[in-house]
Amino acid sequence: MEDEKSLLSEVASDAYDASDRPFDFVGEDGETALICEADEGAKEKISTALKDLGYQTTEASSARDALKKMRFHVYDLVVLNETFDTQNPDANDILSYLQSLGMSVRRQMFVALVSERFRTMDNMAAFNKSVNIIISPKNLDDAGTILKRGISDNAAFYRIFKDTLTKAGKA
């Protein structure tokens, strides 16, 4: 727990570095995705699926790198392997950071957790981990279809909420 706090504190206190802002060139319509996956084969499947869905992707090399990238950019989609840069999936620094985000920021993101421990699209596990969807590594060949469906379901679920915020001038 103290390592988590020190990593988050260290990243937050780092000096500004323009290379930490990978999407300065993206227009308003461009959707961005962050891939946090160590396995090259899985990373390639995820990256291909996201590019097919129209996302501009960036890949994190470590938890520190991912946190630095998220410091200046709210990604539309984050795909995170629960064991990315950690041995203990319950002590994932990136997941802890995402869980600690304020509701207004977190609702702008769609988080997919790649997990060996849970079934693909296990809603209760997703709720428990504060993510939008679970994807099992054995289903990564269908990542594009799974993500498209999950994102669509999420958009439908929050449509009225977001419309109400817009009408109230708070969005």
CATH of the domain at 48: 3.40.50.2300
pLDDT given at position 11: 63
CA distance 149 to 21: 29
Mean pLDDT, the chain, integer: 88
**DSSP 8-state symbol, 141:** G
The two tokens of residue 2 are: 């103290």
Range of the domain at 146: 2-167
pLDDT at 27 over 70: no
pLDDT given at position 162: 83
pLDDT at 42 over 80: yes
Mean pLDDT score, 46-65: 97
Q: How many domains in the chain? A: 1
pLDDT in tens, 140-153: 999 999 999 999 99
pLDDT at 20 over 90: no
pLDDT given at position 171: 67
Confidence at 13, pLDDT banded by 50, 70, 90: low
User: pTM, whole model, 2 decimals?
Assistant: 0.83
Q: Which of 91, 49, 85, 44 is nearest to 68 (CA)?
A: 85
